[in-house]
Amino acid sequence: SIAKDGVLPITDNRMTRFMISLEEGVELVWHAFDDMKGGEIYVKKIPSMKVTDVALAVDDKAMQEEVGIRPGEKLHEQMIGPEDALYTYEYPGHFKILPSINGWSQDADRIGKGVKVDPAFLYSSDNNKEWMQIPELKDWMEKNHNKIGVI
């Protein structure tokens, strides 16, 4: 579309997503193997980005055409919802959702040095504290574009 028309289709100008590299994902898996007791869910703290900023990072001269959300598509990604907040603890680089069965969510050994999140906590791409700006997105794409499709 860019090469032919100079136009980048954008699903919705409000859309946001989380951004994670292959290495960051693997790092979280290794940490989980090391830390888990069983049943925990680990969610890495990663930056968000606006889809429109990704388009600008790809080609800042291309026109952006909003094409609309398709059935089943979401405006924002949600990693931790309020229903999980009661069992969620925050750590320097990640969150851990503890299992609600057998009192495991109160187990001091599973909690470790985690800090309980607010009961109304929500971790989604539109309310994230960390955002990638266009220069960072360009750098990220440069470092990671050759890894796409290698798995």
pTM of the predicted model as reported, rounded to 2 decimal places: 0.86
Q: Nearest 5 degrees, angle CA 82-CA 97-CA 148?
A: 95
Q: How far apart are CA 47 and CA 86, in angstroms?
A: 23
* Domain spans, the chain: 2-145
pLDDT at position 67 is 94
Q: How far apart are CA 89 and CA 98, in angstroms?
A: 8
Contacts of 53 (CB under 8 A, 6+ apart): 132, 133, 134, 137
- Torsion sign over Cα 49, 1, 74, 105: negative
Question: Going residue by residue through the chain (151 aa), what tens digit of pLDDT does each one get?
Answer: 566 778 889 999 999 999 998 899 999 999 999 999 889 999 999 999 999 999 999 898 889 999 999 999 999 999 999 999 999 999 999 999 999 887 777 788 888 999 999 999 999 999 999 999 999 999 999 988 887 765 5
Inter-CA distances, 74 with 17, 45, 134, 147, Å: 10, 20, 22, 26
Q: How far apart are CA 27 and CA 21, in angstroms?
A: 10
pLDDT at position 122 is 97
Q: Would you tell me how many other CB atoms lie within 10 Å of the CB of residue 54? A: 20
pLDDT at position 1 is 57
Q: Of 1.10.760.10, 3.30.470.20, 3.40.50.720, 3.40.50.300, which CATH number belongs to 2-145?
A: 3.40.50.720
Q: What token pair was written down for 41? A: 């869910």
Distance of CA 27 to the CA centre of its chain: 15
Q: How far apart are CA 6 and CA 22, in angstroms?
A: 30
